[in-house]
Amino acid sequence: MVPSSNDHAGVATTARPIEKRLEMSRRSFMQFCATLATTLGLPKGAEAAVQQAMEAAKRPSVIWLHFQECTGCTESMLRAEHPTLEKLILDVISLDYHETLFAAAGHQVEAARNAAMAANKGKYLLVVEGAIPTRDGGVYCKVGNKTAIELTRECAEHAAAVIAIGSCASWGGMPSTDPNPTGAVGVNKIIDKPVVTIPGCPPNPYNFLATVVHFLTFGSLPPVDHLNRPLFAYSRLVHENCERRAHFDAGRFALQFGDDGHRKGYCLYKLGCKGPETYANCPTVLFGDAGAGTWPVGCGHPCIGCTEEGVGFTKPIHMLAKVKNVEPPAMYPGLHESQGQGATLGSAAVLAGVAGAAAGAGAVLARNLGKQHAEAEANTDKSEV
């Protein structure tokens, strides 16, 4: 079973400096706090508040529910590196209930959930992963003989905040696509409390971590957009920060997978990339801590718009995106169309020679005209005398 806040090394743990518990140097810990503050869009100097909160605040109890999903959000969390998962769940938060990560099963884990909720009433964070089926009374997903609807409402009642992680929990995701046989919906459709949504399939784990750290620091969840997505992660279009954006602006597009443009890293818009209508920080935060290019478009696949309801899992991959800022003109030539040829060195030399000859001829003509004018003036003066 995942250790609760009371199980993890007790008083001795709280007495140890956090950089020791996270196995970081003091410098690395300060950089970590500064990075989180920057990610959240906090003003200069806010890293001190983040540092203080992480050092002094009690780790929040987290109840993590699983419903209709592929566990991809949890798998993404397992690959976090700053900090690693075990540091996250033992030293930043207290993960008191998580069906995938529990070693125990059955009545033992349900008892742990009830105990954590009772001990942290009004203070724990509820995280929901997966869509919630509502058809036929919600019988298509049960845990501990309770439907997903019952469990979510029970756990949300005394939660300090509710976070929907992944597209499925945020707005239904893949399970809610037509014909949606189970009536799958997002968390916000079945409870009355505000729900912060962190969509993505999967979302970047650092979007979740930064959201939790904001809660630790300020006692509230970060500012959100009209879809309750944190602004620090979902306020900019994927298209705006894409490394292929320059090719879009220049009219260079891959037209088929594996063609010359695709191999050269041209824009994937004409292959159905939904980046121009999708809000997310994928191109800036990346995935897996494996270096540059570790996100779908960087790897050569169009963005499918998984953070946008009505785009991801709804629009076919090949369908062109509705560009929300500027659309490429239709007159841009394709890769195999004739685009003309610039001046070669030889042609430039010939042109320069012609231009030089013309300039020389003009100078001679002007000089001759000048002489003729001077002679005419002299003859006029003589006649007057």
Average pLDDT on 44-65 reads 72
pLDDT tens-place string over residues 139-174: 999 998 899 999 999 999 999 999 999 999 999 999
Average pLDDT on 1-9 reads 43
The answer to whether the beta carbons of residues 141 and 80 sit under 8 Å apart is no
Q: Are residues 242 and 186 located together in one domain of the fold?
A: no
3-class secondary-structure state, position 372: helix
Confidence of residue 2 (pLDDT cuts 50, 70, 90): very low
- pLDDT over 70 percentage in the chain: 68
Q: CATH code at 272? A: 4.10.480.10
User: Binding site for [3Fe-4S] cluster: residue ranges?
Assistant: 282, 303, 306
CA–CA dist 212, 187 (Å, integer) = 18
Tell me, what's the pLDDT at 26?
74
Q: Are residues 127 and 18 located together in one domain of the fold?
A: yes
Q: Are residues 201 and 292 located together in one domain of the fold?
A: no
Q: Are residues 170 and 64 located together in one domain of the fold?
A: yes
Q: Sign of torsion, CA 255 259 265 271?
A: positive
Residue located via tokens 């203080």: 52
Tell me, what's the pLDDT at 231?
92
Which residue range(s) make up the domain with 95? 10-234
Average pLDDT on 205-217 reads 84
Tell me, what's the pLDDT at 42?
64
User: Domain boundary residue among 213, 234, 255?
Assistant: 234
Confidence of residue 7 (pLDDT cuts 50, 70, 90): very low
Q: Are residues 164 and 204 located together in one domain of the fold?
A: yes
CB-count burial class (<10 Å; 0-12, 13-18, 19+) for 265: middle
Confidence of residue 280 (pLDDT cuts 50, 70, 90): very high
pLDDT at 266 over 80: yes
3-class secondary-structure state, position 73: helix
116: which 2 tokens? 């954590």
- 370: in domain: no
User: Binding site for [4Fe-4S] cluster: residue ranges?
Assistant: 70, 73, 168, 201, 239, 242, 267, 273
User: Domain boundary residue among 168, 203, 234?
Assistant: 234
Q: Are residues 70 and 149 located together in one domain of the fold?
A: yes
Tell me, what's the pLDDT at 345?
46
243: which 2 tokens? 């490394």
User: Domain boundary residue among 303, 318, 334?
Assistant: 334
Average pLDDT on 272-301 reads 87
Closest alpha carbon to 84 in 346, 319, 288, 372: 288
Q: Are residues 173 and 209 located together in one domain of the fold?
A: yes
Q: What is the pTM of this model?
A: 0.70
DSSP string, 347-365: HHHHHHHHHHHHHHHHHHH
- 365: in domain: no
Q: Are residues 252 and 226 located together in one domain of the fold?
A: no
In this structure, what is the dihedral angle of CA atoms 87, 161, 98, 91, given to the nearest 10 degrees? 10
Q: Are residues 164 and 215 located together in one domain of the fold?
A: yes
Average pLDDT on 221-225 reads 89
Helix (H) or strand (E) holding 209: helix 205-218
pLDDT tens-place string over residues 78-129: 877 766 666 666 567 788 888 888 877 788 888 989 999 999 999 999 999 9
Least confident of 79-88, 197-206, 263-272: 79-88
- 343: in domain: no
pLDDT tens-place string over residues 303-338: 999 999 999 999 998 899 988 876 555 555 555 544
Across all residues in the chain, what is the average pLDDT?
Answer: 79
Which has more pLDDT, 134 or 345? 134
Tell me, what's the pLDDT at 90?
57
Beta pairing partners, 126: 63, 162
Confidence of residue 342 (pLDDT cuts 50, 70, 90): very low
Tell me, what's the pLDDT at 102?
81
The answer to whether the beta carbons of residues 287 and 281 sit under 8 Å apart is no
Confidence of residue 355 (pLDDT cuts 50, 70, 90): very low
User: Binding site: residue ranges?
Assistant: 70, 73, 168, 201, 239, 242, 267, 273, 282, 303, 306
Residue located via tokens 């990339």: 273
pLDDT at 269 over 50: yes
Closest alpha carbon to 129 in 82, 51, 73, 184: 73
Q: CATH code at 224? A: 3.40.50.700
Tell me, what's the pLDDT at 277?
94
- 355: in domain: no
Number of domains in the chain: 2
CA–CA dist 301, 285 (Å, integer) = 17
Beta pairing partners, 61: 94
Enter the DSSP assignment of 269: G
- 5: in domain: no
Least confident of 222-226, 285-289, 308-312, 355-359: 355-359
Tell me, what's the pLDDT at 18?
64
- 195: in domain: yes
Closest alpha carbon to 65 in 205, 198, 162, 177: 162
Q: Are residues 230 and 240 located together in one domain of the fold?
A: no
CA–CA dist 332, 251 (Å, integer) = 6
Confidence of residue 30 (pLDDT cuts 50, 70, 90): confident
Q: Are residues 161 and 69 located together in one domain of the fold?
A: yes
- 353: in domain: no
- 324: in domain: yes
Which has more pLDDT, 345 or 17? 17
Q: Are residues 118 and 224 located together in one domain of the fold?
A: yes
